[in-house]
Amino acid sequence: MVEISAVINLHSEGYLCNPSIDSAIKAMVNANKNGLTTELLLILDSASSETVDCVKSINLPFVRVEHVKFGDLGLSRNYAAKIAKGNWIGFLDGDDLWHPHWLYDAYVCSTLDNRSIIWHPEFNVIFGSRFYVRKHIDMDSVFFEVESLLLNNYWTSLCFAKKEIFINNPYRGVDRSNKYGYEDWTWNIDTISNNVIHKIVPNSIHYIRSKRNSLMSSLNIQGYRPCLE
């Protein structure tokens, strides 16, 4: 039995995926030391040849590699959720980093609260083309206002939850004809509509790489918005 599936979505990160995979393995090793079983699931969605070559160099028994051609991050996550062996799933993007304690700390929080919850880090350290620190809000906080989610996305896509939550609340694909994008923002709205709670793991950190030509920047320029239908 696998308790936690660590999932990394890969596209055209190239050598930048190496530190991301390394950070996931370190988080898995820490979880293993605390008695948990884990697997690493690498989803290569129309990945570049450089990214494929980086993954080919990994030869570990707890790693599974899947090649898909969705061309859509949300749909790749849905596929990963279906094939994941773990009862819990943690998502990591191919050029971002987990803190070594992330998986175990998120798992502990999840087991201490029986509600339907998606867990996020308390802090995001953004680095790369720009640097700043972002603090996530907890839905149980008195400062949380659900209406504000219509104007700003509260949480990044790097989250942790029971597999059933991802299965019952699939991500929507990007709708280019209607300019609906931001799969994580839309998913946050959809899950709250389905009575799922978003909470933070206290004192936890994720490291998010900022890129000048990121997908989010492209969607902003083209006028995409989250789907509210």
Sign of CA dihedral 194, 172, 226, 40: positive
pLDDT at residue 221 in the model = 41
Which portions of the chain are predicted below pLDDT 70? 175-181, 212-229
Tokens 């696998």 correspond to 2
| Token output for 43 | 């989803």
pLDDT at residue 1 in the model = 87
Q: Could you give the CA distance from residue 157 to residue 7 in angstroms, rounded to a whole number? A: 12
Tell me the DSSP string of 129-159. SS-EEEEPPPTTSTT--GGGGGTS--S-S--
Q: Could you give the CA distance from residue 95 to residue 54 in angstroms, rounded to a whole number? A: 13
pLDDT at residue 53 in the model = 96
Q: Which residues of 84-99 are buried (b: 16+ CB within 10 A; e: fewer)?
A: bbbbbbbbbbbbbbbb
Name the nearest CA neighbour of 80 among 161, 189, 185.
161
pLDDT at residue 150 in the model = 85
pLDDT at residue 134 in the model = 95
pLDDT at residue 46 in the model = 96
> Which residue(s) pair with 128 in the sheet?
210
Written in H, E and C, the secondary structure of 41-107 is EEEEECCCHHHHHHHHCCCCCCEEEEEECCCCHHHHHHHHHHHCCEEEEEEEECCCEECCCHHHHHH
pLDDT at residue 219 in the model = 46
pLDDT at residue 213 in the model = 59
DSSP helix, strand, coil percent of the chain (3-state; round to 5): 35, 30, 35
